[in-house]
Structure 1
Amino acid sequence: MASVGQRSWNWKDTGIAAAMLAPSAFILGLFIVYPLGRAVWLGQQRCNAFGDQCRSNGFDQYLDIFTSNEFQSALRATIILTVITVPLGLFLGVGLAVLADKHLRGVGFFRTAFSSTIATSVAVASLMWLFLLQPSVGALANIDWINSLFPVIKDPGLLQDPDTALPSVAMSSVWAGLGFTFILVTASLQGVPRELHEAAAVDGATGTMRFWKITVPLLAPTLIFVVIVLTTRAFQTFGEVDLLTNGGPRPGNSTTTITYFVYGEASVIASDPGLQAGGAVLLFVILLFLSGLQLRGLGRRTDLG
């Protein structure tokens, strides 16, 4: 007889548990495990120009892809894009959320305006910025005083100049993702007890001190999540690049990110599914490493670590 507090092995309970897990396991295997495994397998293949005759190069092909000049250039562009978009997007999102958290008349209108970009697709946002920056018919390019201050807007154009194309794409990406950051931070601010700020104010703490000593620590879990999401989004940037620059300007391809390198129509590996799969797997590994690094590094400063 089993002692008190112990249970004998029950195959019936095991069967019930397996039956309950089966639908989730099936969906996970069909849409996550199988595609990932096939991508890893396909990443070893090297195909002809038509993509139908492939041969295995083994896992050495991943090293060949990673060390290639094209992938290194795409990785460099992706890192630059991330360095621009993540801090700027976080700063603007937090700043606007703090401003909109004030109890003022009409603040609801500004909250709606600041969060409206979350309902705008990447395609629509990119076309809006294309309308603004296109040198021949763009709104900014045809304002005289702006042209006199920044001649590059008109000739050759911000999206055509190798030095300004990537920052211009980054601005479009920041604007498109601003609503997401704003909504999350605003929701977190609603959970910060007002009593803490009132007590600190009574003790003589300034607004800046209260923000850094009270608000930021309580927002830290949300900020970590936002940083991870913004980083992932930056590394997966495709729509903005495809619509605004098509990976150019050429021949330097200064806006060819890793995602465009893998999926872009003008990419040098566009006709080789093996190299494309290898690049996608490398992108997955890089994002997995960065997410773990961010959780480990930033999580130590919060109650999540």
Structure 2
Amino acid sequence: MDIASMNLAELTEYIIGKGLPKFRAKQIYEWMHKKFTYDPEKMTNISKDIRKMIENDLPVIEEETRLVSKRDGTIKFLMKMQDGQMIETVFMRYHHGNSVCISSQAGCRMGCSFCASTIGGLIRNLAPSEMLMQVYHAMAVTGERVSNIVVMGTGEPMDNFDNLLKFIELITSEDGYNLSERGITVSSCGIVPKIKELADKKLQITFALSLHATTDEERKSLMPIANRYSISETIDACRYYFDQTGRRVSFEYSLVHGVNDSTQHAVRLAGLIKGLNAHVNLIPVNPIEEKHYTASGAKEVDNFKNTLEKYRINVTIRKGMGRDIEAACGQLRRKYNS
């Protein structure tokens, strides 16, 4: 039983089933989702008997290590879950507010060749509570509110679809943290049926597709998912997402020197997303110890950006926040097992 993954109605049913008065459910729910504690000993307005009753139904997630970037103040947390699995979470400060990048799985089975998260494969999905706790812990440590959550850490969110939806329900609930759906971005390497299923939910979150190539053959060399779904199918799913939600789609494009960063690539990318309400995030690929990709230079990055803008594509160059502590895009991983 994991009561931290329950909504208030489910928790109320659980509490009543324990023979306790209904109002206890709201008290416990607020401790978890407004005061950000899963520790029953800190739930001071609840009797010791009740705390004892629920303690085995609360997840235990602890901070193992913490690194702070000397460049930009980004914080990377290594979090240890109840079964000893490790996940990484990143807290970033921007002028528009604070963001937390969370993991959705321990490990990843997608196999993208430029990403550390997939090294070692997939261990298991994270529960909604384990995703929530990453956000709550970052806020508890910093004493600062979070206005944006990006589900871009270790794992493929669409591969943990039901738990992802429950996490979104809980973090946006008026009974809890009450984050705006528009403050959530979910990234995917492109599991087409799940993109469409997410679109049908008509949430107001931002969907971000990890594209990284402009032809199927090039994409297959970088991302195994391309062997299953073509670029055409994948972008059609993104169009469907916009049609269903009215929300602009983001395209993540990691620039690898000599691989996908030419003017021709930029022209092809513009053609692929022409007419789609879209935004492109250019990401000079970040270094990973086991990989040997080299990031495009400033000249190539600027040329790529300028070419897209000539075709009236909205584009930004993503800052490598926390790069010096391996907290930037593609660098998060499952450190070790205990």
User: What is the TM-score normalised by the length of structure 1?
Assistant: 0.24
Q: Which structure: greater strand fraction?
A: 2
**Pair member with larger Rg:** 1
User: What is the TM-score normalised by the length of structure 2?
Assistant: 0.22
Greater relative CO (CA pairs within 8 A, separation 6+) = 1
Q: Which structure: greater helix fraction?
A: 1
